[in-house]
Structure 1
Amino acid sequence: MVHFTGDSATGQRLYLAHSTDGLHWNDLNAGAPVLHSPIGTKGVRDPALIRSPDGSRYWIIATDLCVRCGSTYTNGSPSFVVWESTDLVTWSQPWLINVAGAIPGGRNAWAPEAIWNPETNDYVLYWATNASLNGVFKYRIYSARTTDFRTITTPQVWIDPPGTTPVVDTQMTELPPGVGNYRYIRVSGDGQNTVEGTNSILGTWTNLGNLSSIGLTGNVVEGPVWMKFRDRDEWALYIDHLQNGVREYRPILTTNPSSVSTYQLQAPASYDMGGTPKRHGAIMTLTAAEEGRLLARWPNTPAQRLQSYNFQDRYVRHLNTDVRIDPNVSPADDAQFRLRPGLAGTVSFESVNFPGYFLRHAGYDFQLAYNNGTAQFAADATFRQVAGLADPTWSSFQSYNYPDRYIRHYAYQLRLDPITTTTARGDATFRVTN
């Protein structure tokens, strides 16, 4: 599950959780974000997770909205933030795709979703935009086609409830042959939480009922997301549910998504969402290979600091992508790293507040750089942790690809140098500490 956690600045980043049974969830990466957006509003919400039909490519598409850090629900962005990956663990730098700008009078773009459409051999991207149409200003669901999530066809109105009723969240699932009467089922956050079915994504949809039969009406429900259990023909419809003033996901189970009468809202004792709040996200059933890669990439490694041996009030920190040692680091996260299994061997240092960014040497100077997935980056960002050159109870870090050089500070700046003097040995010695 990829999700956000709430309206705080750190909550509007992307988080991962993992489940072996689809009902009991464990936070990955020690409950810390795994992706953040440095573009647009610098906040992301409502992520969708898409796998290509052949499993060779993945995309995350998210609402570009950072509430309480410059944006509001009424002056959001017309664009989505998109990441791309070939392995589900190393992601590209994000880009923006402007979708509401292609709609006359369109303003915000919310809650993107996408599904492969075999009839047109491309993806149907769909989302909510508020715009005036026939004299009525409200949120409607629009759709467009795309092959790369960089360019889209002209958006078309896809869901438009009668009158002034808006719709802001829609998510759909594809059913296997023999289950129900329809190939696709969608649920929409339209005040009634309408359930519809069709055999053609861009064709006619049939109203199958709504969630009022299980007591869910109005805005107590947001962000519906479908999940098929891996080992059986049973589905969970996760809903972003308002209960006692708190929103969090809650599952509805069914063996026939086409039949609303079979939907069963689960009691809290039957599921566990983990320690981190789960807000509007996406769930993907993983292959064994995908699962192995994800669990290896995002273990619950603690956040730690690197304390200087000869300036013990100073810690390694990043500052505008530069790397140095400073006292009294603020924000404190700038001096926190997760010591990951080395990208090419032993240990690599991943930033806590900029996940995906690692300490890397370039021209023997250090920078905080985004992992581009290349072998060169892996080598430059990998070090052997050895006994401290000035004190064996501390640590020193030998370069993987320049084994005659070590991480050291010089004039408070981090460098990669040969170590030949007593001063240099002190400069190249650090304590790994909380």
Structure 2
Amino acid sequence: MPGVLSRLAAIFVAVGLLFTSQTLATPERAAAANSGYLMLHFTDDAAGQKSYLSHSTDGLHWNDLNGGGTVLRSTVGTKGVRDPALVRSPDGSRYWIIATDLCIGCGQSWGDSVNNGSRNLVVWESTDLVTWSQPRLLNVAGAIPDGRNAWAPEVIWNPETNDYVLYWATNATLNGVLKHRIYYARTKDFRTITTPQVYIDPPGTTAVVDTQITEVPSGVGNYRYVRLSGDGQNTIEGSNSLLGTWTNLGNLSSIGLTGNQVEGPIWMKFKDRNEWALYIDYLSQNGAREYRPVLTTNPFSVGTYRLQASGSYDMGGTAKRHGAILTLTAAEESRVLARWPNTAINRLQSYNYQDRYVRHANFDARIDPNVSPADDSQFRLRTGLVGTGTVSFESVNFPGYFLRHANYDFQLAYNDGTTQFAADATFRQVAGLADASCSSFQSYNHPDRYIRHYAYQLRLDPITTVTGRGDATFRVTS
């Protein structure tokens, strides 16, 4: 990111985690001692402006889930997302992902996004943390006079008003000054919001983009909430009311971090001790950006912050940018790890047309030669959606989309979580009908029928002829 944008993005991530901490307070207290942490993030390149997940058992050493591959991608707005926040409802029954609708390098430049960017945020919703709704747009900046974009959303539950405070950065002119400020609105459902209000507005022309807030248990310092803002100083403030007065407590210059050295911060409370990690998207001396933890036993006392040395933590195999961390309950952890294991990426090669592979094209399923882009023909053979002993085919470049039959025709469709979808997208992998060294795939809910191609289209048919057996046989390749 350019200087101001980078600072804002980092602060934004930090605020998201802080909000997440508040929102998750009740379920976190119920977390089992052996449960871990979940990080949601994006990676800073055109292909990486989607959502990725990593898991940690101790909060300092991270393993990429899904083989480091995408877990969610946006099909709305700019079709790219950055700066995702992850929110759990106070009762633990619902989850949301809220992200910046922005895709740099895939149709939009930084200049476009600053002065004429999307005024929307992208929202996903779930009841189990693994099956997500289709993405939708939430217009948050359209009602702001001269509002030119909406970046780095964060969310926190406010017990004083019994709803969520949603906050983000918008570039707008106010009192004759054009700059990024933090705005907020209240919401109960992330579908409708109150009229946006200015939340953080540093003096003069100083801009602010990234802000993250977290709730701190009583007995630690003199405040209930702490927030970090990407305002060029990385200012840390404390307050006893989310929408009340905030007190300046210092900044990260005390540990040698200034300006755009810091982006996308994430607050995380360790579940087994009174210590916090502040993850910062850190600009190293070689010019690379990488998450690096800062530890403290008192977030309100900047003098206690300790920047961790290399070797004391491990961020895993993929670059991680501006995200959020959730402390998992044992049940959540079990579901997440089962949903996104490091399953291999495969292709299905036709047995009798060996230059052709199963692929999706405009969400239709067929066999083609010379598939471009190649990942249109890449799938993860997941444990079947109905259970063990079966398989389901999840698209690599459209995660959450599976090969599914409808009226015996095949399409790539988004998993809506229904029993019918699970049955239609589940198959038994058996010895190839034309060659036992290959595979055929028998329908779970129509066991007299198999996946086969006919006129290069994928169909679900009964197989009774030699030609049909060849059409219904595939090689599972890498």
* Residue aligning to 1:202: 243
- Match among 46, 50, 56 for residue 93 of structure 2: 56
**Matched residue SS, 2:48:** coil
Q: Does residue 182 of the first structure (1) align with residue 213 of the second (2)?
A: no
CA distance in 1, matches of 2:392, 2:271: 34
- Alignment check: 8 A CA contact 1:14 1:35 kept: yes
Provide structure 1 residue ranges, at least 5 long, that are not aligned to the other structure: none
Q: Which of residues 422, 426, 433 is equivalent to 2:470? A: 426
* Partner of residue 328, structure 1: 370
Q: Any residues of structure 2 matched to 1:73-152 within 5 Å, and which?
A: 73-75=110-112, 76-152=117-193
Deviation of 1:150 (Å):
1.0
1:217 corresponds, among 243, 249, 258, to 258
RMSD: 0.7
Q: Distance in 2 between matches of 1:147 and 1:138?
A: 29
1:313 is the counterpart of 2:355: yes
The aligned counterpart of 2:44 is: 6
- The alpha-carbon deviation at position 357 of structure 1 amounts to 0.2
- Cα distance in structure 1, aligned partners of 2:58 and 2:143: 41
Structure with more of its chain in helix, by fraction = 2
- Superimposed CA distance per residue, residues 395-422 of structure 1 (whole angstroms, 9 cap, x where no aligned partner): 0000000000000000010000000111
1:74 Cα deviation (Å)?
3.0
Q: Does 1:17 align with 2:54?
A: yes
Q: Secondary structure of 1:293's partner?
A: helix
Give secondary structure in 2 for the equivalent of 1:284: strand
Q: 1:181-330 residue pairs with structure 2 within 5 A?
A: 181-243=222-284, 244-330=286-372
- Give percent identity, aligned residues only: 82
Q: Which residue of 1 aligns with 2:460?
A: 416
The Cα of 1:72 is off from its aligned counterpart by 2.0
TM-score normalised to structure 1 length: 0.99
- 1:149 & 1:191 partners in 2: Cα distance? 30
Q: Which runs of 4+ in 1 moved over 6 A?
A: none
Secondary structure of residue in 2 paired with 1:129: strand
Match of 2:407 among 363, 370, 376: 363
Deviations 1:12-71 (A, max 9, x none): 011001000001101000001100001100100000000000000000000000001111
Secondary structure of the residue that 1:36 maps to in structure 2?
coil
Given that 1:188 and 1:224 are in contact with CA atoms closer than 8 Å, whether structure 2 keeps it comes out as no
Q: Deviations over 1:130-184 (max 9, x none)?
A: 1011111100001110011111101111111111000010001101111111110
Tell me which of 138, 153, 170 is aligned to 2:211: 170
Q: Is the 8 A contact 1:74 1:108 kept in 2?
A: no
**Equivalent residues, number:** 433
- Give the deviation of 1:73 after TM superposition: 2.3
Deviates more, 1:277-286 or 1:69-78: 69-78
| 2-structure distance, mates of 1:160, 1:239 | 22
Letter in 1 for 2:241: S
For 1:58 and 1:274, the matched residues in 2 are separated by 25
Q: Distance in 2 between matches of 1:51 and 1:98?
A: 21
**Partner deviation per Cα, 1:312-332 (whole Å, 9 max, x = no partner):** 111100000000011111100
Equivalent positions of 1:32-71 (< 5 A) are 32-71=69-108
C-alpha distance in 1 between matches for 2:149 and 2:283: 23
Residue 20 of structure 2 corresponds to none
